[in-house]
Structure 1
Amino acid sequence: MKNSIRALCNAYTSERFNPTTREVSIPEISLKRDKLEGLIDGPSLSKRSILSFFAGGNHGSVKPILFKHWEKKDPEIQAHSYLPRGVSYSDLMRQSKYCLCPSGYEVARPRIVEALYNGCVPVLISKSYVPPFTDVLNRKSFAVIVSLEQIPDLKNILMGIPERKYIRMQMRLIRVRRHFELHVNPKTFDVFHMVLHSIWLRRLNVRVSDDHGEMLLD
């Protein structure tokens, strides 16, 4: 195990995850079927009437703060602990400009990838989370980063992003999301190859030795 490189979804620095050494952050992906057809899409800004959207259980250290300030408080910041009957989760994502991605019990959930698939700019709200592929992807170019202290001011933050900047972020998101696509037969630059690339980059920083301490690779 001493020469192994660990790859995990819940890359939490407060739990001793260290992205500078032998550890790799990978995305959590939940697919209802084995093909992506129909899952990856999303309208342009003109067809997104909701400022931001989130639906999920009220647990962990971040979501209670989000619900305290925004659940049933403002129609433009839609935060639901339970979706009403007959309301589609994916449809709301496709109607929203921003998709809120707060941490729950786990720092990473499939919601970030779901937002990318639906063309909804993710808003990352977490403590100590290291997103996947930060070696090569500038997350601030296609996502909004919000601290816990900024949650009460969430609407002002999102409303303050100029339309031109939002359009650029959404365009970058559309280009970036191929790196988060999972295929039965891997395609160039998809998530399979991105994970391998992240591991390879960590390997460059690892001195590999055998059981007797002899260097095998350097």
Structure 2
Amino acid sequence: MHSRILRGIYASEGWFMKLIESNNNNFVTKDASKAHLFYLPFSSRVLQAPSETRKHFTKSIRALCNSDVVFGKDTSLPETFVRDPKKPLSNIGGKSATQRPTLAFFAGKPVHGYLRPILLSYRGNDKDPDLKIFGKLSRTKGKKNYLQFMKTSKHCICAKGVELGVVRALFVAEKDIPNLKKILMSVSERRYRQMQMRVKRVQKHFLWHAKAEKYDMFHMILHSVWFNRVFQIYV
């Protein structure tokens, strides 16, 4: 089950495997008596059932690119979409606040949870120039793709689905979906820029590099593993 998947939404586990093995001098020892932990590279993406690792490795710290974790014991490998394994930082970053003409953008198939069909029913394609809400985006040459819409939109709608692996900064109650535009318009320019800058500050902790850099995701995951190990010793 040792499979380095370095592309796509579950690339984090592959990149962690790659970097832990390529940083032998800093983190890996061949002397078992000096080891603080033993690393078993299981791919939850290949297993397709992270609960299996919970069953057989109840005393282990699981590092999963999945929301199925035990808080205070396991550690998370955040989901980050890597498009090019040779250039993991390609397509990072968007336009400045003044160069985002679209108020909000959403695109996705209506099969992922019950909320997406509700959202799509309130706003059809191209009915409102401020809200770009679509079903599955076509890949027709010449049309804006998903990434371009995200980079030119002030808000990207993250409709609740069947999984828990999504973090949101601005919450809108389901009952308020009909007033979505009014709610987003009420966010002042000053508050919007504050939220954007806060995301920018923590961005470095969620990036993969071809060679690990200080405070990047690789080091933050190692810190989480270390912290959870210390937590288990003293509890």
Give the alignment's TM-score, normalised by structure 2. 0.64
* 1:92 alignment counterpart: 149
Determine which of 125, 134, 141 is the counterpart of 1:80.
134
- Larger strand share, 1 or 2: 1
* 1:60 alignment counterpart: 112
* 1:44 alignment counterpart: 96
Give the aligned residue type for 2:80.
Answer: I
Q: Is residue 73–residue 228 contact of structure 2 (8 Å, CA) maintained in 1? A: yes
- Whole-angstrom distance in 1 between the partners of 2:132 and 2:164: 21
2:184 alignment partner, SS class:
helix
- Larger helix share, 1 or 2: 2
Deviates more, 1:170-179 or 1:32-41: 32-41
Determine which of 201, 204, 209 is the counterpart of 2:227.
201
Residue ranges of structure 2 left out of the alignment (5+ in a row): 1-56
* 2:15 alignment counterpart: none
- Whole-angstrom distance in 1 between the partners of 2:118 and 2:229: 39
Deviates more, 1:148-157 or 1:191-200: 148-157
Shift of 1:105: 4.3
2:165 alignment partner, SS class:
coil
2:80 alignment partner, SS class:
coil
Deviation per CA, 1:62-112: give whole Å up to 9, x if none: 322322333435332222112253222211111100111224343336xx7
Q: Is residue 110–residue 117 contact of structure 2 (8 Å, CA) maintained in 1? A: yes
Shift of 1:37: 4.6
Q: Is residue 10–residue 106 contact of structure 1 (8 Å, CA) maintained in 2? A: no
- Greater Cα radius of gyration, structure 1 or 2: 2
- Whole-angstrom distance in 2 between the partners of 1:66 and 1:26: 29
RMSD: 2.5
Give the aligned residue type for 2:179.
Answer: D
Shift of 1:188: 0.9
Shift of 1:164: 0.6
1:25 matched to 2:76: yes
Give the aligned residue type for 2:64.
Answer: L
Q: Report matched runs for 1:1-218 at 5 Å.
A: 1-11=57-67, 17-19=69-71, 21-34=72-85, 35-61=87-113, 62-72=115-125, 74-84=128-138, 85=140, 86-108=143-165, 124=168, 143-207=169-233
- Whole-angstrom distance in 2 between the partners of 1:26 and 1:57: 25
1:189 alignment partner, SS class:
coil
Deviates more, 1:188-197 or 1:58-67: 58-67
- Whole-angstrom distance in 2 between the partners of 1:157 and 1:10: 31
- Call closer, same or farther: CA 1:151–1:200 in 2, change over 3 Å: farther
Say which structure, 1 or 2, has more relative contact order (CA 8 Å, 6+ apart). 1
Residue ranges of structure 1 left out of the alignment (5+ in a row): 113-123, 125-142, 208-216
- Call closer, same or farther: CA 1:187–1:149 in 2, change over 3 Å: farther
